[in-house]
Amino acid sequence: MTREEEIARRRTFGIISHPDAGKTTLTEKLLLFGGAIQTAGAVKSNKIKKGATSDFMEIERQRGISVATSVMGFEYKNKKINLLDTPGHEDFAEDTYRTLTAVDSVIMVIDCVKGVEPQTRKLLEVCRMRQTPVMVFINKLDREGQDPFDLLDEIEKELRIRVRPLTWPIGIGKTFKGVYNLQSKDIILFAASSSNLPSAAVTIKDINDPELVRLVGEGHAKKLREDVELINGVYDDFDVQEYLDANISPVLFGSAVNNFGVRELLDCFVNIAPEPRGRETDIKQVEPADKKFTGFIFKIHANIDPNHRDRIAFLRVCSGTFERNKKYHHVRQNKDLRFNNPTAFMAQEKNIIDEAFPGDIIGLYDSGNFKIGDSLTEGEDLNFKGIPRFSPELFRYVMNADPMKSKQLQKGLEQLTDEGVAQLFTKLTNNQKILGTVGALQFEVIQYRLKGEYTASCNFEHVSLYKAMWVSCPDHKKLDAFVQDKFNHMAKDKDGRYVFLAESSWALQMAQEKNEDITFHEKSEF
């Protein structure tokens, strides 16, 4: 197979949702229908009965939530599918934002009972910024949920996207009979099932076919005919190019926990989802068809396998062909690196690969060379854009609870913050370490992982801070003067950049007004 053919058959996407919408269950079922796994764990009442394939951290298994991005690859209908399951918990949104830089499209899961939720809005905003095509899967149709037309109106209004249903539910909750495929004119009858077998489709030549009444009953048949007439009158015909341009989102309905509607979703995705797309760098646009290899690190995970204490950098291949044992240029460090055992992922399982193509996500064993956003190339000095760190919202002083393990604590903090779990700031006045996060759960995860993976203990002490803002100025003398003036409120991040620690919104406003030459940044990429 040629390189062009290999690129054309790649589909790299992320699954996003508000917590508890059924994202991890859907991930499992997609892998099931893709033949990547034989059984799927059921996620109910926020407890994982059997460890979900994509949730490999112990704390995830205990809480029944995803807090780290998992990468899974499988083959389906001669397409190479790269699936990234993102953290659902809002406290780990920043990890999800960065993951969205590595995908070409997104499947958004919405709970038909709860509708659009806050985390869904935030994630969709990131997709909009990057013009990422979005497919919508409305889940849990076997429960008593909202009217599907009301749901679609809510999605359009709250998320500010145009939608077009491709399947349509027949009944809901206890009266749920199945879905009608508006494209292929099939009816897929619903049967609550925890088995691995998908429901069979029944083809009807015409929606007015008397067979419809026999299949779903007269009341449901009448309602479906009315709904389809309304859909065809209200919504435009589905245009694949409009979807690829991120102007319209196709909608499919189902019940992931019952294996219902998942195969239809996967079939539709394979047919219309985009091939690998180009990426912007500081010097040019990199296209998948470019001959020279380029890629960027969007995630780092230490101790993915606690038995081996390994550290994996996740790299998205953007152009060219990545080859095992070949030297590549690490742009930030300006040195060449060779990778003897690059891996492809099936959640916890890792397989050594000889080559990878644009769209692929590969794991590189890392001894501390990489940071999030780093570029690897075949010699070009370029940096990929759009992989920032955001200003944290919560802050804590780090207090060493075991002075005998100071080195382990330092190493653990360095590695965990390299992963993007949190940000580490060092105050200029006393070198005290401050951790900044987006959500409170991250502090718990850091404490847990420091103890389990580095045998280090720490406590956290509250810091009354409003915001941490990166500062810059083309005139170094003016920047130095600002740092001296605000010395008690200044820190440095891990890369040695100055950060202003504002105690209140008023303090930040006053600092900005009195220092017009200084630029204050809410994200690290400036």
CA distances from 457 to 67, 396, 405, 438 (A): 21, 15, 8, 22
Residues in the chain: 526
Asked if residues 361 and 345 have their Cβ atoms less than 8 Å apart, the reply is: yes
Of the pLDDT bands very low, low, confident and very high (cuts 50, 70, 90), residue 199 is low
Q: What is the mean pLDDT of residues 190-197?
A: 61
Q: What is the mean pLDDT of residues 161-166?
A: 94
State the fold for domain 394-521: Alpha-Beta Plaits (3.30.70)
Most confident segment among 293-307, 370-384, 478-492: 478-492
Q: What pLDDT score does 355 carry? A: 93
Pairing state of beta strands 249-253 and 134-139? parallel
| CA 429/CA 308 separation, integer angstroms | 39
Which architecture does CATH list for 3-272? 3-Layer(aba) Sandwich (3.40)
> What are the residues whose beta carbons fall under 8 Å from the beta carbon of 498, sequence distance 6 or more?
470, 471, 472, 479, 483, 490, 491, 492
Of the pLDDT bands very low, low, confident and very high (cuts 50, 70, 90), residue 93 is low
| CA 252/CA 260 separation, integer angstroms | 11
Check whether 370 has a pLDDT greater than 80.
yes
Which residues sit opposite 234 in a β-bridge? none
Tell me the domain boundaries of the chain: 3-272, 279-377, 394-521
Assess if CATH 3.40.50.300 describes domain 279-377: yes
- Using a 10 angstrom Cβ sphere, with 0-12 exposed, 13-18 middle and 19 or more buried, the burial of residue 361 is buried
Which residues sit opposite 316 in a β-bridge? 296, 361
| CA 36/CA 28 separation, integer angstroms | 9
Asked if residues 141 and 171 have their Cβ atoms less than 8 Å apart, the reply is: no
Residues of the chain with pLDDT > 90, as a percent, come to 49
pTM as predicted? 0.78
Of the pLDDT bands very low, low, confident and very high (cuts 50, 70, 90), residue 69 is very low
> What are the residues whose beta carbons fall under 8 Å from the beta carbon of 496, sequence distance 6 or more?
none
Which residues sit opposite 365 in a β-bridge? 312
Asked if 3-272 and 279-377 have one fold, the answer is: yes
Check whether 132 has a pLDDT greater than 90.
yes
Asked if residues 300 and 312 have their Cβ atoms less than 8 Å apart, the reply is: yes
Of the pLDDT bands very low, low, confident and very high (cuts 50, 70, 90), residue 196 is low
CA distances from 31 to 270, 290, 346, 430 (A): 14, 31, 9, 51
Check whether 464 has a pLDDT greater than 60.
yes
| CA 180/CA 514 separation, integer angstroms | 63
Q: What is the mean pLDDT of residues 227-236?
A: 91
